[in-house]
Amino acid sequence: MRSELGEHFFQCWLEDGATISKSEELGTDSLPRLAASDEDVTFEWITLPNGERARAVGLRVDPIFRAAGPFGDRELLPRLHDEGDSLEIAVARTVEDLDTTLSRLKWLLILTWLSLTVGCAAIGYWVVSRSLRPVESLREQIGAMGEETLRDRLVVDDAPAELRPVVGQINALLDRLQHAFEREHAFTSDAAHELRTPIAGLRSMLEVALIRQRSGEEYRKTVHGCLAITNEMQDVVETLLDLARLGSDTFSEESAASSDELEHVSLCALAEECFAPYASMAGGRGVQLEVDADRGLEVATELRLLRRVLHNLFENAVTYAAEGGTVTVRGRSLDHAVDVTISNPVTGASPELATNAFQAFWRADSSRTNTGRHAGLGLALCRRIVEILGGHVHATLDDDVFTVHLSLPPSRRAA
């Protein structure tokens, strides 16, 4: 059912409904009349007699009569008598080809969408997998690490810029862990070495005492010797425990919690008090104490801890000072600290003394076999205590004068 116009069909009616012309393909069938008024142009979807869908337009027109012309000839329009009559025209066009095209376009869009979705998912998976490859490599390296591999460092050559700072921070953490493990290992080895010497001496004395029968006086002398060695061993153990306790988070938190209750003490008075227990030993070696500080100079501190520091420093100074020398204590107030120095002359000191003095178990004279506070632990303990008190400590060696420099918090007492 196709006219010469192809997919187009038309039909024309008089006002009374009589058909005056239509497409031959319609045969006896008719198009629906769509025009409702003279002013309306009506568009509707219709179904053609053969069942096809079509888009139709209907309108009314008033014809203009002319003396000649195909539509002005009364023989061609025998039913049009009055010039006032109007015509109603309906034109329809099938949309079968359009529906087919739209259907194909719909499936094409669906297939395109599916293809793009699958493609984007595949590309996204590839991109994410490639991006996470450095993270997976990092995870495997971290998972393979242990105490025996702390020297190894994370290496992710293709890491993105965002991940490189993380790798750097982890490697820095591994550096700190390695140094901590090495210090712990060295500390344990040195502690075992320090305890081995007095234990060997104690065993030797006891074995010698048991070789043969001895007098009561000889046994008493052996017991006194064993007691002296035992006291030295106890000093080593107590100092090790102090170092471990002062290095714990619990102690640091307790110390910080009591910082509001610091005591204000005179530096001169405290120095003289702490030197008193060693005055006899100092006198035997001709060593004197000199305090060069303002009597009114005060520090805000935890007194029991600062006493421990000064006791260790004075004991170390009196023990290693050159005979006939002077232990000098100087103090001065700075803007945000009280600077305290304790110096004593030394003879034949190692150039490494100032650098290593605060390392546990280090001795300037390796030939010494004394234990206890002279096992190289006293100054290490002092450094840890001063850090907890909120200060810092270091040592210098100039012209055979060994000096310990303390920086302590000043007194906040109102003037």
What pTM value is reported for the model? 0.48
What SS3 class is residue 401? strand
Checking if the pLDDT of 106 tops 90, the result is: yes
**Token digits of residue 56:** 């139709």
Residues 303 and 391 in one domain: yes
Residues 285 and 404 in one domain: yes
Residues 282 and 393 in one domain: yes
Q: Give me the helix-helix angle, 249-257 and 378-388, nearest 10°.
A: 50
Count how many domains the chain has. 3
What is the spatial distance between Cα 228 and Cα 281, in angstroms, rounded to a whole number? 17
Residues 192 and 284 in one domain: no
Give me the residue label for tokens 């209750």. 261
Q: pLDDT (tens digit, 9 = 90+) per residue, 110-132?
A: 999 999 999 999 999 998 888 78
**Confidence band of 177 (pLDDT split at 50, 70, 90):** confident
What is the spatial distance between Cα 379 and Cα 385, in angstroms, rounded to a whole number? 10
Q: Give me the helix-helix angle, 267-275 and 303-320, nearest 10°.
A: 50
**Token digits of residue 166:** 């993380």
Give the pLDDT confidence score for residue 363 in this predicted structure.
Answer: 60
Q: pLDDT (tens digit, 9 = 90+) per residue, 57-94?
A: 888 887 665 545 554 444 444 445 455 567 888 898 88
Residues 270 and 403 in one domain: yes
Question: Is residue 390 in a domain?
Answer: yes
Q: pLDDT (tens digit, 9 = 90+) per residue, 181-237?
A: 877 776 677 677 667 767 888 888 888 888 888 888 888 888 888 888 888 788 777
Could you please report the per-residue DSSP string of 221-239?
Answer: HHHHHHHHHHHHHHHHHHH
Q: pLDDT (tens digit, 9 = 90+) per residue, 6-21?
A: 478 888 888 888 888 8
- For residue 203, the tally of other CB atoms under 10 A from its CB is 12
Q: Which of 246, 272, 292 marks a domain boundary? A: 246
Q: Which domain holds residue 36?
A: 8-94
**Token digits of residue 12:** 């024309």
Domain CATH code at residue 309: 3.30.565.10
What is the spatial distance between Cα 88 and Cα 91, in angstroms, rounded to a whole number? 10
**Token digits of residue 99:** 């529906």
Question: Is residue 379 in a domain?
Answer: yes
Bridge partners of residue 330, in order along the sequence: 292, 341
